[in-house]
Structure 1
């Protein structure tokens, strides 16, 4: 039933007088447990939080839950975090799953696929033990924090696979001690729940838990429940103590313990003391309990507390400096006194974390230092991974201890990708042990740079900024090149913290330090100033700085010229100098295309501006090519704060191009990365694109949620990206039929068209949307006014947006002259398709079909609506496809349930599946995992998952087995 040989009994599970006792009270909790298990079996994923103070009886209740879940057929796995190992990545998950993985390693590895298994092997020792090296070139090295996101997806898939048809109950105790990576994963899991019958239960102390963990139940929505474990009342205490304890002593014990079961148990063990002699705290009671041990057993208990939460006797013997036989004899007494309890595979555990803490604190500080040092040396002699040794070197390392420094740095680099918080912690400890002297200066500066990056990637942006400033203090005043690089990093983090004024002040201060402000070393700082000005929509200031910068210099590296070129198109475009903007974009495109990846890596923040400029100018294919390459470089070099922005831009481009499933998969990664980064700016960028992508796929609720969260984030005031969020929310409101609110939001985003910060193409799109909304409200004159405003914003060098103008005019004319409106909409469709704005082209075809129908022109109406249906289907715009399908049915065209006209021919895919969906569904029916399908079709796993969700919806099934059954039945 459990991954361990025995279920932990834990806090308050036994009395001192009677041994194992039945559960006392807790009827409400047990009823909630029963409902949660039943909900898991009938409705799928459930998240349960069991919350209570130390010793309240959470672990005892979890044992009841495990018994209940196991009795209903769920595979039940149990793990817990530990106080002294809380920096170790994923410790609670490893404790819960590793033994099970070892027993089912080959089977699970085959079902997961090689790529997913390799990712999981970075976490679980059971998978790492026999994991072959990947073939050369099989995987791209990813140093960004997004490794965590893909790892979390792999963990989610692992949990689904382990659940199988019977279901899984994953119980994690003491998660208030869980590391940040575990907390991030749980947050990811409740927002992207497994598909199978999975119950995830966590137990924690409310006063010690982080806000992220405390909010998990709320994040889980309807899938989340919380059980609060309070103290026992006096009657329950009497039942707990049993008849051996008289009423007077029982009342005193109740008052001293406050009804806390663990405190009550600890105090009751002190049977040799009178009630009046009871100590005021349970710590004293535990110290008395430990004081009754023989000296040898107490020494082994103290050594075990140093060793690990679940310890091996041999390691405890080394730590205590006794023979293994002596340690085993001592363990006999410790088990007999219920200080420790047997765990799995010859290991032992303290009966409660508080007992371990008491044992640790009962030893002298000097002895603790030496014990950690002995254990560290022994683990090193065994060749244990640096990550296993690091905790003990951290506790025992002395100032200037090079071995401790080297081990901590090695451990930090080993976990940098999947656990950057732990990486940063160990790097900081290493720096604390490293003397500040000339001989260590270079190494120290290198470690500070790594530390700043780890802090930034893990969302500790303020700490990363402070570390970068510390690096600036160490760098010599005349080391202008490295100082400029550090200042750029620091300014980028200030920007992510929504502190643009501080970023600008830092850059100007560094420029003033330079004797020659026009030297090559000053160019990176000036470029960052240009970017800061453009973020503030102060394109005149940006252009003024650019005008002072040549295109190249004799002392410039080739990549510097490329970076300056990448910044030039956006200010020219914003100022309406379209020929110059296009010419600059072509020049930058040539330089970037021929540049090496390592050159791009240094200047990705500049390259990102070119990518966005190309999208704004409607150069979608070129923009997509640059977004994809820049994102790949950002991954391989760990630049997460730029990667999330690049992914948001890529998603925006894919949405316009009508590649909506890919857009949603891309933007989901951007949103997750921004949340991990804890950058409000990047989260708003990502949520804005999630809003737009969701709207055009027809998921208006998801679009509204994303748009509202982006606007309510409260960042980006006075900058274009804040307006982009309001504009996206306006689109979502109009699409959801909330026209008046939508119009107000769009006008707010456009600043009433008086001094708008949005780019020209977006403003034209806003005019078309406003024309559509006003026409829908029966206000044709207002719609016509917006159409003319759109025309006034057009530019001959931006033809991709020209189709929006006749579309806006068609909206205005539909009520009075539907035939003319149909012709205009038809013209719009041709222009928009030529500009690769495929969703908008489909919308124009839909308007043309509706207008032809209103004019009584049934044949062209059917033709345009059929074309619209096909366009929307190809884009993945399910909501618009459904609307076009309804209109076709009104005109007498027979349409299948999936939305494809029956005239589609004998070769049409079953159930309305697209060719790609049918391809994926067929591979699912053949038993391939998502990972294997992704590898076979050269797709991302997330793209496969997105297609598969569409397959489930169209087939009306909820599992992979259902897909196979449906396809096998199809003639």
Structure 2
């Protein structure tokens, strides 16, 4: 708040010049220049309360407006910190209501769960009430929104949808999104910002956030660092003494300026508040009578959490408010209770007065600059600190009643539970069944997008809930679990919400509380609760505690073959498999039947899923295949609901089938189980499934699909804040990136995966080190990569990697040693590969031939060429296109070394086709270079990096053109890129112009490197 008292509707000084801030303005201009030039920028503006952050954002917005760059601005609110995406809704919803962007139905449906303007009606009860928040989506009481995705799963897809929304809004002229007071934003908003800085919108977008560093979460404070080269940091510093004089103007004496400077510390808001006091601008000190006006306020509650307000500023604000008429002060307090941006009707309801009286009071408040007009007939306080002071000036009992009156008013308007919950939470009493139902309904509605908020409201409901409430009165549907006490069911929901929102410690405490409430002889429910506790313990890196918890509960079950005991043993098997303790896992499995009377259907699925990996790990491939086929039969007769009960163990079957080379079976099973996990919201398990899918797609050479699966797995793990699943995801992202040829990114991902030595002694930790080794070798740092790979393998008598990965490692080390021409070493690794590959199918046999080719090439290139060519045929027959391409490249190089140019050309041509199909850019470029050395005329490989697109196409245009060249229809392109068909058509028309073609056939021709056939 800088400048004189005369303000415009946006809360900025009306024509007042900005004081100081030259350094900050220069940084802001540079960020704006970069964004205007086509680069994404993330701007973090920090400063103490009242330091002038909002004014600096206003200056940035004005500069953007001067360049015709659209600006959308919103802010978070202190007393609505649990409202999901509040600042984003404040910024975008009015724009979306005025003009809806063209979005495909799936994206629009997902975004409608956050933005009321996309939910259907132009005006909802929420907007009529003057409060913004998530759209109800037509949900029935006590049920989630109609089209909401399940708990925790929707967040990643929602984040992608918001990114595509920003790209759509910025597609023509760019976009500046400014979010103020983000230190008050909910966790869901910070998660979204984190996603956007890691995966920037591919458009001219600048996102600016302002926050108080002392109140900012660690995740918020590190966003600018995560943004890397796209991040810009600015600080709003206090005024100097000279700037204070300029701010106050020549009518204030120098002695008074000095006194105000010392009292305010140069803080613009404090300075303005002190200058507003009677006599503040003409230099006269307030009289004792004027100081005494503030005395009656001394008996009221303190101003709350903002203790940094100096006493002089507090007094100044109290004096300002004490001059208000009684009704105006009452309406101001009701408005402070109501919302950050409020309608007069809401303030009138809180104050218990007629709306016409409230309007007259608001006129008085606006004239005194306590509140200011906002959009659509609403009002806002001139500064969040003023609202804070007004809220704190009201007695606690009166505030409680005001919250209750506003909640009733919203209920009469038909506002959704998500808007009423904030007021219900602050006004309901113990045992209030209607309040409990409202809080539970609100929690279930926002759970998919904002599980942290859901957890907050579930905790509030549990605090109000008596020991044995009537489920019907509380609005709690008993469902299939009707015999379970309502508070026990809510504890299970709370533990799940806390877990998927990353509150792992709190989730573990809730799960243990749930376990204590269950009777000692309720073995079935206790086993499920223990299983949940054990999973959370693993996410917290407490592997020993997880195992001890399971063993302790097992000892409490009298019958070791009881279904509850078998369920707990499956958890022990999974734990041993993580450590590649194959014998230990098999020993536990040997004590369990395949099926038994009394088993729940999901238990049979779990046991069948776990039996394959120990057999494969022990080298009993025939047994493993037989067990996998038996699992096929179990899955075929099991509905999705039964498989959903076993998702803790299903990933092991998927991973085993990938390692066995049963790729089609693995693909179908993983696709089905991922869909089940999404539909049931089982986030702790979906990451393992997605990583198995990413590994499968990488092996098959479907690198773009592998990248998508690995990205979703990693981003979901970041949301859950699980170190284990994050390493899983980073490992697969590293492998995909290195084979795509993005070596710098692969190294960053690999180094992040091994940082902190998470997973030491476990399979997934060794996989991370293996991935980093591959990335190092592919980036040209072969010796470092060989060391990392050897460390990953572990002791030969107790390997830390599975046989399939060990074979890949042996082949790579044979290649490295052959290049180093180290006598005997390539042959030794080829022998190890032959030993490992002897237990597998054609894919493993192909990898063995490739390793043997590496070993033979230094001494007998003709034999090496024959071996590599055979390996390529075997790998291609198994569907391993990427490795088949590598074998074809090795064969071409060996033929070339042997002086056989024609076979070399043929093998290199085959390799180039495979690498282009896979999207392996670096290997394709290497192959093209070798072809040219042999005299083959070949077009340069297509480039696909951001900012490096050919033909003058933008990144989005090149992306669309590539999909068209691959044969996708406009509808398919729209679905893949979360765009509307109309937007695809618009971009495609620009592609036609830049390529000089008039049809989709022309696009295919040009991108396939035959420019002479344009417009064909």
Same fold (TM over 0.5): yes
Deviation at 1:450, TM superposition (A): 1.0
> Aligned partners of 2:79 and 2:452: how far apart in 1?
16
Contact 1:882 1:899 in 2 (8 A): no
Deviation at 1:164, TM superposition (A): 2.7
Contact 2:151 2:451 in 1 (8 A): no
Deviation at 1:899, TM superposition (A): 6.6
Residue 933 of structure 1 pairs with residue 928 of structure 2: no
Deviation at 1:961, TM superposition (A): 6.1
> Aligned partners of 2:795 and 2:842: how far apart in 1?
25
**2:57 equivalent among 55, 62, 73:** 62
Aligned to 1:274: 285
Aligned to 2:816: 773
Contact 1:7 1:63 in 2 (8 A): no
Aligned to 1:605: 648
Contact 2:547 2:575 in 1 (8 A): yes
> Aligned partners of 2:653 and 2:153: how far apart in 1?
23
For these two proteins, the number of residue pairs brought into alignment is: 925
Residues 336-387 of structure 1: CA deviation (Å, up to 9, x unaligned): 1110011111110000000001001111000000000011011111110110
Deviation at 1:851, TM superposition (A): 0.7
**2:103 equivalent among 85, 108, 112:** 112
Contact 1:191 1:220 in 2 (8 A): yes
Residue 312 of structure 1 pairs with residue 343 of structure 2: yes
Aligned to 1:79: 74
**2:794 equivalent among 747, 751, 762:** 751
Query: Structure 1 residues 765, 797: CA separation in 2 closer, same or farther (over 3 Å shift)?
Result: closer
The correspondence of residues 731-750 of structure 1 with structure 2, limited to 5 A, is: 731-750=774-793
Residues 496-552 of structure 1: CA deviation (Å, up to 9, x unaligned): 111111111111111112122221221111111111111122222211111111111
The correspondence of residues 371-520 of structure 1 with structure 2, limited to 5 A, is: 371-437=402-468, 442-520=485-563
Deviation at 1:36, TM superposition (A): 1.4
**1:584 equivalent among 594, 619, 627:** 627
> Aligned partners of 2:373 and 2:268: how far apart in 1?
22
Residue 965 of structure 1 pairs with residue 993 of structure 2: yes
Residue 212 of structure 1 pairs with residue 212 of structure 2: no
Deviation at 1:21, TM superposition (A): 3.0
Query: Structure 1 residues 31, 741: CA separation in 2 closer, same or farther (over 3 Å shift)?
Result: same
**1:350 equivalent among 381, 388, 393:** 381
> Aligned partners of 2:193 and 2:775: how far apart in 1?
29
Query: Structure 1 residues 339, 438: CA separation in 2 closer, same or farther (over 3 Å shift)?
Result: closer
Contact 2:579 2:800 in 1 (8 A): no
Q: Please report the TM-score for the alignment, with normalisation by the length of structure 2.
A: 0.88
Contact 1:881 1:899 in 2 (8 A): no
The correspondence of residues 5-44 of structure 1 with structure 2, limited to 5 A, is: 21-44=16-39
> Aligned partners of 1:587 and 1:378: how far apart in 2?
60
> Aligned partners of 1:645 and 1:438: how far apart in 2?
38
> Aligned partners of 1:37 and 1:879: how far apart in 2?
34
Residue 616 of structure 1 pairs with residue 659 of structure 2: yes
- Residue aligned with 1:88, SS: coil
Contact 1:141 1:636 in 2 (8 A): no
Aligned to 2:186: 179
Contact 1:49 1:201 in 2 (8 A): yes
Aligned to 1:684: 727
Residue 241 of structure 1 pairs with residue 248 of structure 2: yes
> Aligned partners of 2:315 and 2:555: how far apart in 1?
62
Contact 2:109 2:147 in 1 (8 A): no
C-alpha RMSD over aligned residues: 2.7
Deviation at 1:700, TM superposition (A): 1.3
More moved, 352-361 vs 121-130: 121-130
Query: Structure 1 residues 797, 807: CA separation in 2 closer, same or farther (over 3 Å shift)?
Result: closer
> Aligned partners of 2:847 and 2:109: how far apart in 1?
48
**1:365 equivalent among 389, 396, 402:** 396
Residues 202-224 of structure 1: CA deviation (Å, up to 9, x unaligned): 00000011111111111111111
> Aligned partners of 1:644 and 1:713: how far apart in 2?
20
Residues 374-429 of structure 1: CA deviation (Å, up to 9, x unaligned): 11011111110110100000000111011110000011111111111111111110
- Residue aligned with 1:47, SS: strand
The correspondence of residues 660-809 of structure 1 with structure 2, limited to 5 A, is: 660-751=703-794, 753-809=796-852
> Aligned partners of 1:858 and 1:60: how far apart in 2?
70
More moved, 356-365 vs 142-151: 142-151
> Aligned partners of 2:10 and 2:657: how far apart in 1?
62
Query: Structure 1 residues 61, 180: CA separation in 2 closer, same or farther (over 3 Å shift)?
Result: same
The correspondence of residues 811-822 of structure 1 with structure 2, limited to 5 A, is: 811-822=854-865
- Residue aligned with 1:79, SS: strand
Contact 1:925 1:960 in 2 (8 A): no
Deviation at 1:599, TM superposition (A): 0.3
- Residue aligned with 2:664, SS: helix
More moved, 689-698 vs 274-283: 274-283
Aligned to 1:856: 899
Contact 1:865 1:888 in 2 (8 A): yes
Contact 2:468 2:486 in 1 (8 A): no
The correspondence of residues 862-901 of structure 1 with structure 2, limited to 5 A, is: 862-898=905-941
> Aligned partners of 1:392 and 1:833: how far apart in 2?
63
Deviation at 1:942, TM superposition (A): 11
Deviation at 1:332, TM superposition (A): 1.3
> Aligned partners of 2:967 and 2:574: how far apart in 1?
47
Residues 529-583 of structure 1: CA deviation (Å, up to 9, x unaligned): 1111111222222111111111111222333222211111111221222222222
Query: Structure 1 residues 24, 403: CA separation in 2 closer, same or farther (over 3 Å shift)?
Result: same
Q: Please report the TM-score for the alignment, with normalisation by the length of structure 1.
A: 0.92
Query: Structure 1 residues 7, 337: CA separation in 2 closer, same or farther (over 3 Å shift)?
Result: closer
Residues 615-673 of structure 1: CA deviation (Å, up to 9, x unaligned): 12222221111111111100000001110110011010011011111111111111111
Query: Structure 1 residues 761, 464: CA separation in 2 closer, same or farther (over 3 Å shift)?
Result: same
> Aligned partners of 1:613 and 1:87: how far apart in 2?
43
Query: Structure 1 residues 752, 553: CA separation in 2 closer, same or farther (over 3 Å shift)?
Result: closer
Unmatched tracts of structure 1, length 5 or more: 1-5, 901-909, 952-957
> Aligned partners of 2:379 and 2:39: how far apart in 1?
35
> Aligned partners of 2:617 and 2:977: how far apart in 1?
35
> Aligned partners of 1:613 and 1:144: how far apart in 2?
28
Residues 253-296 of structure 1: CA deviation (Å, up to 9, x unaligned): 11111000100111111125727978734223212211111111
Deviation at 1:97, TM superposition (A): 1.0
